[in-house]
């Protein structure tokens, strides 16, 4: 989803910083955007490391002069019951999915304030709104944390013209969902939960992120944009 968002933002004229722990994949997106006439910069970022975030923001401002938009997109999953979940598994998912959003938000706010405002878009999940037996406690808890951290950020920084909104995708065709999609029985169980009867595509999420990042959503903050094929409508 992050790659789709970066490419779409570049198509719309944004200067994009692609930040990821996966260097080869991140540089491939950077090169693709630049080859098509856009402007992109790759920086290596471990979202669980405070210093990495500081360096990423500094690199962005150093290259492009300011920071207007932050999309907190990094996330990992899991599947276990509460009593079978190890402390290590809990902490790993919470570190990436929740702590990473906190660190990114904290690092971006001073730069956005200097720029006169900005938009923070946090990728949560439909499982940050409702439970699912086949999910893990750490995934649902982390995505719920993202939802409420977003609302708190929106309230605390509205007077700085910094908006914060969360996006809640349902099942999307990405590497994270590949295991469930490759198992016919699991795939059918997931489809049965989606009124539209299919998985979403990364671009379908990216357009929602683009809206929340843009001036067209200037009066939108503290909100939840659900892109889940109807999952949470039931």
List C-alpha distances in Å: 183 to 90, 134, 136, 178, 179.
25, 14, 18, 9, 7
Task: Quickly count: other Cβ atoms within 10 Å of residue 15's Cβ.
Answer: 17
H-helix or E-strand containing 185?
helix 184-192
Number of structural domains (the chain) is 1
1 within a domain of the structure (yes/no): no
Q: Return d(Cα 152, Cα 133) in angstroms, integer.
A: 28
60 within a domain of the structure (yes/no): no
34 within a domain of the structure (yes/no): no
Instruction: Supply the range of the domain harboring residue 196.
Output: 69-233
Measured CA angle at 231 (ends 137, 218), to 5 deg: 95
18 within a domain of the structure (yes/no): no
Task: Quickly count: other Cβ atoms within 10 Å of residue 85's Cβ.
Answer: 16
- Secondary structure (3-state) at 90: helix
Catalytic residue among 139, 157, 187, 211: 139
Q: Quick one: how far is CA 186 from the chain centroid?
A: 25
12 within a domain of the structure (yes/no): no
- Is 157 annotated as catalytic? no
> 223 CB contacts (<8 Å, ≥6 apart)?
165, 166
Torsion on CA atoms 204, 207, 208, 209, rounded to nearest 10: 120
> 84 CB contacts (<8 Å, ≥6 apart)?
none
CATH number at residue 159: 3.40.50.720
32 within a domain of the structure (yes/no): no
Tell me the whole-structure pTM to 2 decimals.
Answer: 0.95
Of 3, 1, 74, 6, the residue nearest 213 (C-alpha):
6
Going residue by residue through the chain (234 aa), what tens digit of pLDDT does each one get? 999 999 999 999 999 999 999 999 999 999 999 999 999 999 999 999 999 999 999 999 999 999 999 999 999 988 789 999 999 999 999 999 999 999 999 999 999 999 999 999 999 999 999 998 888 999 999 999 999 999 999 999 999 999 999 999 999 998 888 888 888 888 998 999 999 999 999 999 999 999 999 999 999 999 999 999 999 999
42 within a domain of the structure (yes/no): no
216 within a domain of the structure (yes/no): yes
């Amino acid at each position: 989803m992050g790659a789709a968002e970066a490419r779409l933002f570049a198509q719309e004229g944004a200067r994009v910083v692609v930040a990821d722990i996966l260097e080869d994949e991140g540089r491939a997106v950077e090169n693709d955007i630049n080859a098509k006439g856009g402007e992109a910069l790759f920086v290596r970022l471990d979202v669980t490391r405070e210093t990495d975030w500081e360096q990423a923001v500094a690199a962005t401002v150093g290259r492009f002069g300011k920071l207007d938009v932050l999309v907190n997109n990094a996330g990992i999953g899991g599947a276990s019951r509460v009593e079978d979940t190890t402390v290590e598994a809990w902490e790993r998912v919470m570190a990436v999915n929740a702590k990473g959003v906190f660190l990114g938000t904290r690092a971006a706010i001073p730069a956005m304030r200097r720029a006169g405002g900005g938009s923070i878009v946090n990728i949560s999940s439909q499982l940050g709104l409702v439970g699912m037996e086949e999910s893990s406690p750490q995934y649902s808890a982390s995505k719920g944390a993202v939802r409420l951290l977003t609302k708190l950020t929106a309230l605390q920084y509205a007077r700085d013209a910094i908006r914060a909104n969360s996006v809640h995708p349902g099942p999307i065709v990405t590497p994270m969902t590949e295991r469930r999609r490759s198992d016919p029985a699991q795939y059918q169980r997931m489809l049965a939960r989606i009124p539209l009867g299919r998985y979403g595509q990364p671009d379908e999420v990216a357009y929602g992120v683009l809206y929340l990042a843009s001036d067209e959503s200037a009066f939108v903050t503290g909100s939840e944009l659900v892109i889940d094929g109807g999952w949470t409508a039931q």
